[in-house]
Structure 1
Amino acid sequence: MMIKRILAPVLALALVLSACQAKPGERAEGGQLTIGVGGQPLLVYLPTTLAQRLGYYEAEGLKVTLEDLQGGSKALQALQGGSVDVVSGYYDHTIQMAAKDREVRSFVTMLRYPSLVLAVSPKASKPINSIADLAGANVGVTAPGSSTDFFLKYLLDKEGLPSDSATVQAVGGDSSAVAAMEQGRVDAAVMLDPAFSLLQQRAGADKVKILTDTRTAEGVQEDFGVSTYPAAVLYSTGQWLENNGDNARKLAKAIVRTLEWIDQHSAEEIAAEMPEEYAQGNREVYVDAIGKVKDAYSKDGTIQPDGAEAVRSVLAQFIPEVERADVDVSGTYSNDYLPEKAG
C-alpha cells in the first residue's frame, strides 16, 4: 500500500506531462515551431538562417527554433520522430518518402540548383581524372542516405557503374569534410560551400580537381538535362501541413522575402548578416563562396514540374523502391503556400 501511495502521484504527473507534449503533425500553437536543418552552416540552407537573422519569421508572428542536425537524412529522421515540425532539407527526401507511401511535401523552394561539387582530394590514393575512376575509391558524403550520397550514386550509375562501386564515407559538410580531403582520408568527396571554397583556398585551387559542379545552370543542364533542379526546400508531413496551413504560408512568405533580399544584396552584405562562426575564420573565402552560389538561390520559391520530375527520374535510376513505386511528383510539393504575386 505504501508503494502504491508513493507511485500514484508520480504516475499522475507522468500522464499530465505526456498529455502536454505535442504529437507529430499537431497544430503549432502560438506560431511556435522547430525547423530541423540538414547542416545549418552550409550555404545551401543559408535562407533558413538568414530569415531568422533579418527578423522575417518574427514579422509573420512565428517563433521559430532552428535545430542544426548536420545532415539531411538526420533531419528527415527527426521529422518522422516528431522532434521537429519542418525540415530545411533537400527535395529528394519527399520523393523517397512517397515511395514508402508516406506523405511528405515541400512548400517553398530555396535552391534551384543543387550546388553540389564532386572534387578529388589533393592526397587521393590513386589517380582520379573522371567519375569512372571513382570505382574502388573512398568517397566522402555528408551522411549515408543524404542528398550528397544520392548524387554520388546517380553519377556512378550514369557512368554505367554499379551505384555501390565506390566506398561511401560520412565526412559531414563543413570543417570535417575539409579535413578529410586535406588529409587524404577520402579520395574524393561530394562537397558544399563554404567548405569546398575553403578547401580550394587552403590546398590551392589548382590542386583540387573538380569532376562536376552543379552550382551553375550549365552544370545542372550537363548533369541532369534540365534548367532547374529543386534542391534545398522546406518540407513537412501532409498531416502537419493540413493542421498548420497558416503557419506554412507564413514560413513560405518569410523565406520568399529572404530570397528577394538575397537577390537585391551583395555577397558581402549577405555575409554580414550571418553568424560570424559560419565563416570558419576566413571571411574572405566565405564571401567568395556566397558569391559563387548566389545565383543558385530561387527567385520566387516555386518548384517547376519538369524539375520535380527530373529529381524523381534521377532517384529511380538507383533506388529500386522509387522505380517500382511510380511516384506522382505532384503530391510531393505544393506552390499553393507561396505568397500571391503582385499584379
Structure 2
Amino acid sequence: MTSSRPSQQAPAVTAGWTRRRVLSVAGGTAAALALAACGAPSSAPPGQNAPSGASGAAGGGSGSKVVIGVGGQTLLTYMAATLAEQLGYYKEEGVDVELQDLQGGSKALTAMLGGSTQVTCGYYEHTIQMQAKNQSIKAFVDMGLSSGLALIVAPKNEGSIKSIGDLKGKNVGVTAPGSSTDMFVKYLLSKNGFQPTDAAVSAIGAGSSAVAAVQNNQVDAAVMLEPDISVLAKQLGKQPVILEDVRSVEGLKEVFGTDSWPSACLYAKTDWLQQNEDTGKKLARAIKRTLDYISQHSGQEIADKMPEKFSGGDKAQYAKVIDDLKKTLSKDGKFTQDGTEAVLKTQRVANPEVGNKDIDLSKTYTNDYVSA
C-alpha cells in the first residue's frame, strides 16, 4: 500500500473488551501500531542503478554505506529504524546508514529487489511471499510482535454488522487488494466458515483517504491501522466499533492462537546478507539496542528524540501513542517459531500465491545476527 503521514492524533479513549469490541483507540491496549503492509510484487523488477556509495547494491560485496528503504518512515511500527539513527546507534556500530522513506511496503520491497536499496524495513510476511515466487529474502531482526490491524464497522452499519458473518455481501475497505489488510479480511472469513470471496474489497489506502471512506460510509467496514483509527475516532466524536483486533496479545491469541505475529523487521536478499554478514550483524545490534532503549524510556523521552515533524504537531499525544506501541514491540529482536508459523498460516488461507506451496520457514528468517 502507499502509506500517508498522519495529519493529527486523537485523544485517548478507553472501553471494555467484549466480543463486539469497542476498544481503546489510543490507550489501554496496543493501539499504536501502524502498518505499511502491501502485496508483494510478482517478480523482481529489472536491475536499477544503486545509489552512489551503496554497499553491495546489485549482488553483494562490501562498501561504506547501506541504504535502507522504509515502508513509510513516519509510521510508528517502523519507529525503531528511525530512532536508531536519531540515537546514533548505526554510527556507533560502525555502519553508515541512509534511510529512504519509500511511503509503502511494496515500494520498499521493489526497490530492494531492483537494487536501489540493500535492506528493507518492512513486514516479515514478504519473505514468505517471495519464497513462494522462488526469490530468497531473509529477515534478520524483528521489531514488532503484532501487525496492528483492526476491523472497523462503518457508522451506518453499527447496528447491522455484529459478526464476521454479517460481512457476507458487504464491501470492506482495505489499503489495497492483495495487501495484508485484504488478507486479514479473507483469513477472518475463512476462519469463521465462509468463503474468502464472500465479501468484496475496495482500496481505500491509508491516512486521510481511509478515514474519509469510513467516516462517509463509502464502505460497509474497513481494516484500519493507527494512527488512522485515532483520527477516525476524533472525527466521529466517539469510539469506532471494532469486530476484530490484533493490536493486543489478547487479540492475537483469539485470532491467530499465538502471542506474537512478526511484523516490522529488517530483511534483505539472502545472498546480500550472506556476503555482508558483518554489516548485517551491526544493523541487527543497532536495532536491538534501540528496542532496549524503547523499553527503558517513556513515550515522552522517545518522542523528544524523534524528528519533530513525525509528531504531527501534537507531541504530547504522540508520546502517549508511543507508550501504547511499546507493549507490542519485540524486546529482544528475535523471531519465534510460533509467530512465523502464525504468519504462514495467514498466508496459506488468504494468499493463493502461497496456498499449499512448500515453504521452508527456516529460510525466511534468522536470529543469528541479532544474537551475535
Q: Does the TM-score normalized on the shorter chain lie above 0.5?
A: yes
In the aligned structure 1, how far is the partner of 2:314 from the partner of 2:156?
Answer: 23
- What is the root-mean-square deviation of aligned Cα atoms in Å? 2.3
Deviation for aligned residue 1:256: 0.5
Change (3 A) 1:87 1:126: farther
Change (3 A) 1:54 1:184: farther
In the aligned structure 2, how far is the partner of 1:175 from the partner of 1:55?
Answer: 33
Output aligned runs, 1:19-168, within 5 Å: 23-30=57-64, 32-123=65-156, 127-168=160-201
Change (3 A) 1:188 1:175: same
Indicate the residue corresponding to 1:238 in structure 2: 270
In the aligned structure 2, how far is the partner of 1:282 from the partner of 1:121?
Answer: 27
Indicate the residue corresponding to 1:261 in structure 2: 293
Output aligned runs, 1:157-306, within 5 Å: 157-206=190-239, 208-306=240-338
Q: Is the Cα contact below 8 Å between 1:90 and 1:147 reproduced in 2?
A: no
State the TM-score, normalized to the length of structure 1.
Answer: 0.86
Output aligned runs, 1:293-332, within 5 Å: 293-332=325-364
In the aligned structure 2, how far is the partner of 1:25 from the partner of 1:172?
Answer: 33
Would you say how many aligned residue pairs link Structure 1 and Structure 2?
321
In the aligned structure 2, how far is the partner of 1:212 from the partner of 1:131?
Answer: 9
| Amino acid in structure 2 at the alignment position of 1:25 | G
Deviation readout 1:145-189 (Å, 9 max, x if unpaired)? 332222222112212233233333333333333233233333322
Q: Is the Cα contact below 8 Å between 2:76 and 2:322 reproduced in 1?
A: yes
In the aligned structure 1, how far is the partner of 2:218 from the partner of 2:72?
Answer: 21
In the aligned structure 2, how far is the partner of 1:46 from the partner of 1:156?
Answer: 31
Deviation for aligned residue 1:61: 2.3
Q: Is the Cα contact below 8 Å between 2:169 and 2:199 reproduced in 1?
A: yes
Equivalent position SS for 2:331: coil
Q: Is the Cα contact below 8 Å between 1:194 and 1:279 reproduced in 2?
A: no
Change (3 A) 1:202 1:223: same
In the aligned structure 2, how far is the partner of 1:66 from the partner of 1:212?
Answer: 33
| Amino acid in structure 2 at the alignment position of 1:117 | A
Q: Is the Cα contact below 8 Å between 1:72 and 1:146 reproduced in 2?
A: no
Deviates more, 1:218-227 or 1:65-74: 65-74
| Amino acid in structure 2 at the alignment position of 1:61 | G
Deviation for aligned residue 1:90: 1.1
Q: Is the Cα contact below 8 Å between 2:186 and 2:349 reproduced in 1?
A: no
In the aligned structure 1, how far is the partner of 2:271 from the partner of 2:113?
Answer: 12
Deviates more, 1:211-220 or 1:319-328: 319-328
Deviation for aligned residue 1:28: 4.7
| Amino acid in structure 1 at the alignment position of 2:347 | L
Change (3 A) 1:78 1:166: farther
Q: Is the Cα contact below 8 Å between 1:114 and 1:214 reproduced in 2?
A: yes
Change (3 A) 1:241 1:281: same
In the aligned structure 2, how far is the partner of 1:71 from the partner of 1:124?
Answer: 30
Structure showing the higher helix proportion among its residues: 1
In the aligned structure 2, how far is the partner of 1:125 from the partner of 1:211?
Answer: 10
Q: Is the Cα contact below 8 Å between 1:123 and 1:181 reproduced in 2?
A: no
Divergent runs of 4+, >6 A? none
> Structure 2 stretches of 5 or more lacking a match?
1-48
State the TM-score, normalized to the length of structure 2.
Answer: 0.79
Indicate the residue corresponding to 1:10 in structure 2: none
| Amino acid in structure 2 at the alignment position of 1:197 | S
Deviation for aligned residue 1:302: 0.3
| Amino acid in structure 2 at the alignment position of 1:37 | V
* Max Rg structure: 1
Q: Is the Cα contact below 8 Å between 1:72 and 1:147 reproduced in 2?
A: no
> Structure 1 stretches of 5 or more lacking a match?
1-16
